[in-house]
Amino acid sequence: MLKLLLANRVAAVAGLLVVAFVMVAIMAPILAPCDPNEQHPEAIRAAPFWRADGDSRFLLGSDSLGRDLLSRIMFGARISILLGVVVVLLTLLVGTGLGMLAGYFGGAFDAVMSRIVDTLLAFPFLIFALAIMAATGPNLVALVSALAFKGWVDFYRVARADVLAAREADYVTAARGVGASTAYILFSEILPNIVPPLIVLAALRMAIIIIAEASLSFLGIGVPPSIPAWGTMVADGRADIASAWWIATFPGLAILTLVLAVNLFGEGLRDALDPRMRQ
């Protein structure tokens, strides 16, 4: 009993942390000490405030253009969370929709889909993303497409497998016996039952998307440089790692913390939903 509570406590704390990040992102304009794009030429590469040579104006230090890191990190949360949510929602809808159709109707559609999935999986995500972004230049829509390109496959598989199993279940047979239409069965009967694992998957995918977006931004082909983004900040700080290591380190720490919180929360969700499902 004690262990059960403990595990849930960790997940709860993680959930709170995620909420905290979201709140910071939303209220960044109010919370941030400086404008994230404002340069302070007199205080470039300032050290964090706890160091002897630190500057108390810049709690986490400043980058090579004199911009406050703390403010940039706060604003960076906005794009990471926004993109994460948008991409996950998109892939969730597309993947689940296609998966439900493939699982319920099977046949040629299913066969064709599995070929497409096989091919997509063999495709290295990064190359596709690189190609698109290199072609279109820094462009948020293209970025979302690149991130969503392979992302829907996980949702597709889970939805398809669950629908396949549900198809033969008693409650579906009963619904058909009463004369329910296919659409009704799919949306009102089957869908509610397959939602829990999809939610868990959404949380875990969110973590992956956040890292993917950061990686693309790091390579310079993600978020446009005018928008503060964690990946871009790490790339900016790369030149100074020998002297001003904090410029590259702290944004990455922000990524790590958010992703860790999302992962822990997702796992907590999974544990909470699972045993109850197995009744």
Partner 1 sequence: MWGRFLRQRLLQLIPVLIGVSFIVFLTMHLTPGDPIEHMLGQAGRVTQEQIDELRAHYGLDRPLIVQYGLFLGNAARGEFGPSYSHHGRTVRSVVAARLPATLELTLFAFVIAIVFAIPAGVIASLRPHGLFDRLATVGALLGISMPGFWLGIVLMIIFGLQRHWLPISGRIDLALIPEYVTGVHTLDALLTANGPAFWSALKHLALPGVAMAAPMAAMVMRMVRSSMIGVLAQDYVQFARAKGLPETTVVGKHALRNALIPTVNIVALQTGLLLSGNMIIETVFQFPGLGKLAVDAIAAADYPLVQAVVLIYAVSYVLLNLVADALHAALDPRVQIA
Task: State which of positions 198-237 bind partner 1 (CB under 8 A).
Answer: 207, 211, 214-215, 218-219, 231, 234
CA–CA gap between residue 15 and residue 261 (Å, rounded): 7
Among 54, 249, 270, 273, binds partner 1 (CB under 8 A): 249
141 binds partner 1 (CB under 8 A): no
Q: Please identify, using beta-carbon distances, which residue of 34 and 214 lies nearer to partner 1.
A: 214
Among 51, 118, 199, 274, binds partner 1 (CB under 8 A): 118
Least CB distance from residue 203 to partner 1, whole Å?
A: 13
Among 12, 113, 130, 191, binds partner 1 (CB under 8 A): 130
**Which residue stretch of 40-48, 49-57, 133-141, 171-179 sits at the interface with partner 1 (rule: CB under 8 A)?**
133-141
Contact characters 49-88, partner 1, x per CB under 8 A: ----------------------------------------
Binding site for partner 1 (CB under 8 A): 3, 115-116, 118-119, 121-128, 130-132, 134-136, 207, 211, 214-215, 218-219, 231, 234, 238, 241-242, 245, 248-249, 252, 255-256, 259-260, 263-264
